[in-house]
């Protein structure tokens, strides 16, 4: 295992960050190093700095499970710093590639709320809730919740 991954696993984010910044200098186009450098900035609460490294990871064509994580974490970071349209764009790009990733869909629902697209936000969240819950009460009313999810302003 790489030293920086062990440091991250041990939650030694500052030490991992110092090591990863040196590695980025040596290999600026390495998508995995850029990804983990972003992770350390994220863990340190420095989302604005993390963004550039997540973007570099995508530009350098990171692949596999880390690519999927990059979309989620970049989208989340954009939302955290108030870059709502960028968040929406990156999450929608990620959802095209990973349509079954529910975390991306939830973050997308959150940013739709931030963009005052509340109906789309709630519709998506209700759909995710109904499809993933193990709560017996939600399961019991799942058909009604699903039916009403895109009719939130409608009355009968």
Same domain, 70 and 129: no
Same domain, 80 and 152: no
Residue partners of 121: CB distance under 8 A and separation at least 6: 109, 110, 112, 113
Question: What crossing angle do the helices spanning 13-26 and 31-43 adopt, rounded to 10°?
Answer: 150
- Give residue-wise pLDDT tens across range 42-94: 999 999 999 999 999 999 999 999 999 999 999 999 999 999 999 999 999 99
Among candidates 79, 70, 71, which has minimal Cα distance to 48? 79
Altogether, the residues listed in the chain come to a count of 156
Q: Whole domain around residue 151: which residue ranges?
A: 117-156
Contact indicator for 70, 42 with CB cutoff of 8 Å: no
Same domain, 82 and 21: yes
Note the pTM of the prediction, 2 decimals. Answer: 0.91
Q: How many domains does the chain have?
A: 2
- Give residue-wise pLDDT tens across range 90-137: 999 999 999 999 999 999 999 999 999 999 999 999 999 999 999 999
Same domain, 60 and 90: yes
């Amino acid at each position: 295992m790489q030293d920086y991954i062990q440091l991250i696993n041990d939650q030694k984010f500052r030490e991992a960050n110092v090591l990863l910044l040196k590695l980025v200098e040596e290999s600026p186009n390495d998508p995995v190093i850029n990804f983990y450098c972003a992770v350390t900035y994220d863990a340190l609460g420095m989302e604005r700095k993390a963004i550039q490294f997540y973007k570099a990871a995508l530009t350098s064509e990171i692949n596999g499970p880390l690519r999927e994580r990059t979309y989620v974490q970049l989208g989340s970071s954009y939302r955290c710093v108030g870059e709502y349209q960028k968040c929406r764009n990156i999450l929608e790009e990620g959802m095209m590639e990973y349509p079954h990733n529910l975390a991306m869909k939830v973050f997308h629902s959150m940013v739709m709320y931030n963009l005052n697209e509340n109906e789309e936000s709630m519709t998506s969240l209700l759909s995710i809730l109904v499809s993933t819950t193990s709560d017996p009460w939600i399961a019991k009313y799942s058909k009604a919740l699903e039916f009403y999810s895109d009719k939130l302003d409608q009355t009968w």
